[in-house]
Structure 1
Amino acid sequence: MSHYDYIILGAGAAGLLLADALGKDEHFVSKSILILDRDDKSQNDRTWCFWERGKGEFDELIHKTWDKIYIGGQQFQKSTSIAPYTYKMLRGIDFYNHFLPKVKAYPNITWVQKEVQHIEERENEVLVTTSSQRYTGQTVFSSLYDPSIHLKQRKFPVLQQHFIGWQIKTKRSVFKPEEATFMDFSVPQKGNTRFMYVLPFSSNEALVEYTLFSEELLEKKEYEEALKTYIHKKYNDTPYVIQETEFGSIPMTCYPFHLHNTDGVFHIGIAGGWAKPSTGYTFYNTSRQVPKLVEHLKAGKPLSKFRKKSRFQFYDMLLLDILYENNHLGHDIFESMFKRRKASLILKFLENETNLWEELQIVMAPKPMPFIKALFKRIF
């Protein structure tokens, strides 16, 4: 049985960014690190998008950027600049091809392709069992997400951001390559919050996603029918071929995942509650959390104490309370925000970077009564 100082479970964004941060920091050069993942990361299994000001650390890996976004609804359409922000798309395969060789090259890091079956925290170490071998670690960083943890409680509502996306190529030029469709609520809502999300790579290639914020997932056929109908209506029935498909479901909840962290097992990524509760965006927040976690480790502080409260969690909670009780209000809330406020201010708010005056402007953009009711219900 092999022993390591640190074991990282899962080689997604959180796992690989953490491994790279530890591997290149001289403070950890004497630490033995193991990464376990069931996949070889040779497939383009996901797409990450985020917005940021100016140049960023992942720019050399970015597949496409947009300086304008489109917001649409039943009776509202808006194309707008998001300056000083740029919306950026990073493909999973490009991320893996960059970070996997780097991580595997660090002399103190071991990569093993095995599926984790069980984690057991003992008095002075953590036992990790895979399909064919067992390992022990002083500290385990786990990105293995267990939805049963928060689904069996009722204090914090849990929605899902779920979607199926098609990367399509059309026979005619129908897309605006310079403009990303951020949210198009013109599709039937059916009592939920439903919208289309379109990322054009050229005038005839784009990723088109049917996305919902709701409690329950749909049958696969319903996503696909919605995509077919939208493409048919929006792009005048232009012929197209599907080049790639993707499916995802991200938890939207303010559940305190940190309560499950100990000094021996620390959860990262979605499993650690690093997804933005009100939007599901995870990658950019993960990239900001990892350096803070590394500094926390270098300072010798207990991992169970790694947490910072924020007033933005309360804003997220109010929105999720509203959408959980009245899921159909989502399109009205988001449309009102983008209709009455600058897109750049909304993106700043969603990145937790606004001041109190700016936040008041955002909160007052939609009809206030649902938020007032949610506030009183949450307080009392």
Structure 2
Amino acid sequence: MSSYDHIIIGAGASGLLLADALGRDDFFNDKKILLLDKDTKRKNDRTWCFWEKGEGAFDAIVHKTWPKIYFAGKETALHQAIAPYQYKMLRGVDFYHHYLEKIKGYANVTFRNDEILSVEETAESVRVNGKNESYLGKVVFDSRFDYKKLKEQQKYPVLQQHFLGWFVKTERPVFHIDEATFMDFSIPQKGNTRFMYVLPFSETEALVEYTLFSENVLPREEYEAAIATYLDELKTGPYEIIEVEQGNIPMSSYAFWSESTNKVIKIGIAGGWAKPSTGYAFYNSAKKVEKLVNYLKRGKSVSEFQRKNRFWFYDLLLLDILSRNNSLGQKIFESLFKKRNPQLILKFLGEDTSLFEDVKIIMACPKRPFLGALVKRLF
């Protein structure tokens, strides 16, 4: 049985970013690091989007950027520049290829394909049991996520950000290539929080995605029917579906990190690295990896690595509202985008605002549902 200092389970965004961070830091040169995933990571199985100011660490593999966003509600249609921010998109296959190639250059990092069956923690080490073999590690970083445990708890509401998207090619030029549709709530809400999300790559090519923040997923044909209707309303004419993307991200203020120990540390979505109110996880994961590596280098307890902050509480109030009345999402986001500029909204969603700026965001939201959620949480 092979032994390692650090074992990373899962070669998704958090796993690969962590493997790279450990591999390129001289502090870990004498550490043996193993990255495990059942998949070879050669397919484009997802896309990640984020916003940042100017140039960034991922620009070499960014597939497309947009300097503007579009937001629509029942009474609102806003085409807005977001400078100094840019909205950026990464394709999964480009990210995997880039980081797996980087990891090959680190003498102390090994990548293996294996399906993990169980993880057993003892007083001395952690045994990771794979389908092919077992591995011993001093510290294990585990990105496996189990919805069952999340739904078993009753303290925090659990919604899902679930979506299906078509990469389409149209015969007619209909898309605005410099503008990403951030949220289009003009579609029927049907008692939920539902919007269209569009990332154009050219005037005739785009990812068109039907997204919900709700408790339950839909039959596949309902997502597809909604996208087809939306494309008809855009008057695209005939179109070809090139690829299909489907996903599901948990939305909860549950303390995912409470399941971590000093030897088995949850990372990625399993560690609560996706922002509860939006599901954005990629850029947050990059920041979390940097913080986690610093904790490891300083020998600090990982139990102190992640904790609740005021943004966690803001997210909790929104999820409390949407869990009780899922139809309020459109009203809340439309009020916010009507009253505040997109730069401040993006700064707030990125958890970079000051308390004064937080108040400006809060005052732009409908008061009654948030006051009601606050009172119920406090009393």
**Fold equivalence (TM over 0.5):** yes
Q: Is the 8 A contact 2:175 2:200 kept in 1?
A: yes
> Per-residue displacement from partner, 1:228-250 (whole Å, max 9, x unpaired)?
111111x2151100011110100
Aligned to 1:42: 42
- State the SS of the aligned residue for 1:291: helix
**Match of 2:185?**
185
Q: Partner letter of residue 361 of structure 1? A: K
Q: Note the C-alpha offset of 1:172.
A: 0.7
Q: Which amino acid aligns with 2:12?
A: G
**What amino acid is the match of 2:247?**
G
Q: Which runs of 5+ in 2 are unaligned?
A: none
Instruction: Determine the C-alpha separation between the residues in 1 that align with 2:16 and 2:340.
Output: 37
Deviation of 1:329 (Å)? 0.2
CA distance in 2, matches of 1:215, 1:107: 45
Give the ranges of 4+ consecutive aligned residues of structure 1 lying more than 6 Å apart after TM superposition: none
Q: Which residue of 1 aligns with 2:256?
A: 257
TM-score (norm 2): 0.99
Pairing of 1:132-281 with structure 2 (within 5 A): 132-233=132-233, 235-281=234-280
Partner AA of 2:10 in structure 1: G
Contact 2:174 2:236 in 1 (8 A): no
Comparing 356-365 and 206-215, the one that deviates more: 356-365
Distance 1:137 1:353 in 2: 36
Deviation of 1:103 (Å): 0.8
Q: Answer yes or no: is the 8 Å Cα contact 2:4–2:136 preserved in 1.
A: yes
What secondary structure, in the 3-state scheme, does the structure 1 residue paired with 2:201 have?
strand
Alignment match, 2:8: 8
Deviations 1:86-129 (A, max 9, x none): 10001111101110011122111111101101011111111111
| Deviation (angstroms), 1:308 | 3.7
CA RMSD, Structure 1 to Structure 2 (Å): 0.8
Letter of the aligned partner of 1:366 in structure 2? C
The percent of aligned pairs where both chains have the same amino acid is 58
How many residue pairs get aligned? The number is 379
Shift of 1:31: 0.5
Q: Could you tell me how far 1:377 is from its partner in structure 2?
A: 0.3
The answer for the alignment partner of 1:306 in structure 2 is 305
Residue in 1 aligned with 2:65? 65
Deviations 1:301-323 (A, max 9, x none): 12222124321111001001000
Counterpart code for 1:331? Q
* 1:259-316: CA deviation from partner (whole Å, max 9, x where unpaired): 1110110011000000001000000000011111111001111222212432111100
Amino acid at match of 1:245: V
Separation in structure 1 between the aligned mates of residue 72 and residue 200 of structure 2, nearest angstrom: 16
User: Unpaired runs of 5+ in structure 1?
Assistant: none
Give 1:284's aligned residue: 283
Counterparts of 1:306-325 in structure 2 under 5 Å? 306-325=305-324
Per-residue CA deviation, residues 310-354 of structure 1 (Å, 9 max, x unaligned), is: 211110010010001010000000011001110111101101111
- Looking at structure 2, the residues matched to 355 and 158 of structure 1 have their Cα atoms a distance apart, in angstroms, of 28
Contact 2:171 2:236 in 1 (8 A): no
Distance across 2 between alignment mates of 1:159 and 1:309: 19
Cα deviation per residue 1:132-184 (whole Å; 9 max; x = unaligned)? Answer: 21111000000011111211011100100000010000001000001110000
Match of residue 32 from structure 1: 32
Secondary structure of 1:123's aligned partner: coil
